[in-house]
Structure 1
């Protein structure tokens, strides 16, 4: 199997599509976060889906950035780094939720309940959860800022689907409205980001990077063919003289 830039770009596009679909799927009928949920199989499945979303999305945005690195400029670099860090921190948070939380749910129910409270936008912990709260909040800031900056950079680059790039930026900004709209299910705000990743991934998959090459013989203009024959004839005369 030959690994080419086209193969890697398509793999990144597929990763973004699957990641976006996982993110949308996690939101469907998501139960209320409480202590009882942490000990269930559904919790482990949903946490695993979140880990898959963050991991695949990281691979996807890496392919998007490399595809148009010259067009996105400094804004694209900053947006990519910030969003990538957001996904990296998200993986650490979700892995902790999948592996650690069920193990200590019975011995430290107060700690687990406080972590779940902080995980909800606008939520606050009643007790001390150490650096876990700071990690969750930092992840939220990086995810929001990175989505906004990277979405703007992709939109300005005009390489991948612009509607999806705009939706990525708008989806990140829309999360700021969650605390002000407690009556709205906050998980609905994640759907635009998932759709944006699917759209960008599909756009990256379809995109073809072909190296610059001379046109085929039948597509060349008569003028180019005439000039080529004259140059060949002149070179032959020089060699024979």
Structure 2
């Protein structure tokens, strides 16, 4: 099997597009964030899909950035690092939601309720530094999306409409204090569409096809 730049680029494009599809899907199917909900099948399915979304997004967005690293400049670098941090934080928090909260629901419902309040900026009680996850993740999403979107738009390598949408979409999260958290999930849909567009655009690119590595085939 021969690993080529084209193959890796197309794989990154598919990962980005799949991450965008999952990002949009989980916003629509996400259960109400209550202690009773964390033990349901719907909760498990949603958060397993969210974990997959974050892992695919982390790999895909690296490919998106590297496909135009020379044109993205410092703005693109900072945007990529911040957006990658968002995916990493999402992975960590979602792991807790998927595997820890269901175990705590019966024994420590108050702690579960406080942990569920983190993304929406609600009452996190005595969680201390753990409560900082909310604003840190929000900042990484906002700064990363806006800066990376601007850099991609200026680079003129991938679909410019998707790049512009990535830059504008995260700004909608500034409506956090104005609308219920459940409705705020719909504000993530433009970013989901942007990721799908960027992924498809990256998949369609045709960079040089020189092999990077010759991987021996196991017979």
| Shared fold (TM-score, shorter chain, > 0.5) | yes
- For 2:33, the equivalent position in structure 1 comes to 33
- For 1:53, the equivalent position in structure 2 comes to 53
Conserved? CA contact 1:24–1:194, under 8 Å = yes
1:1-241 to structure 2, matched below 5 A, reads 1-120=1-120, 122-125=121-124, 127-182=125-180, 185-210=183-208
Residue segments in structure 1 that go unaligned for 5+ positions in a row: 213-241
Distance 1:182 1:74 in 2: 35
Distance 2:27 2:90 in 1: 16
Residue segments in structure 2 that go unaligned for 5+ positions in a row: 211-219
Deviation at 1:211, TM superposition (A): 6.8
Conserved? CA contact 1:65–1:80, under 8 Å = yes
Aligned residues: 210
Deviation at 1:164, TM superposition (A): 0.4
Deviation at 1:59, TM superposition (A): 0.9
- Give the TM-score of the pair, scaled to structure 2: 0.91
* CA RMSD, Structure 1 to Structure 2 (Å): 1.7
Secondary structure of the structure 1 residue equivalent to 2:22: helix
- Give the TM-score of the pair, scaled to structure 1: 0.83
Q: Deviations over 1:34-90 (max 9, x none)?
A: 000001111111111111111111111100111000000111111111111111111
Q: Deviations over 1:124-173 (max 9, x none)?
A: 32x21233211232112111111111111111101000110111111111
Deviation at 1:28, TM superposition (A): 1.6
Conserved? CA contact 1:83–1:145, under 8 Å = yes
CA 1:106–1:190 in structure 2 vs 1: closer, same or farther (change >3 Å)? Answer: same
Secondary structure of the structure 1 residue equivalent to 2:2: coil
Q: Pick which of 89-98 and 26-35 moved more.
A: 26-35
Distance 2:181 2:116 in 1: 19
Distance 2:136 2:182 in 1: 24
Distance 1:178 1:140 in 2: 10
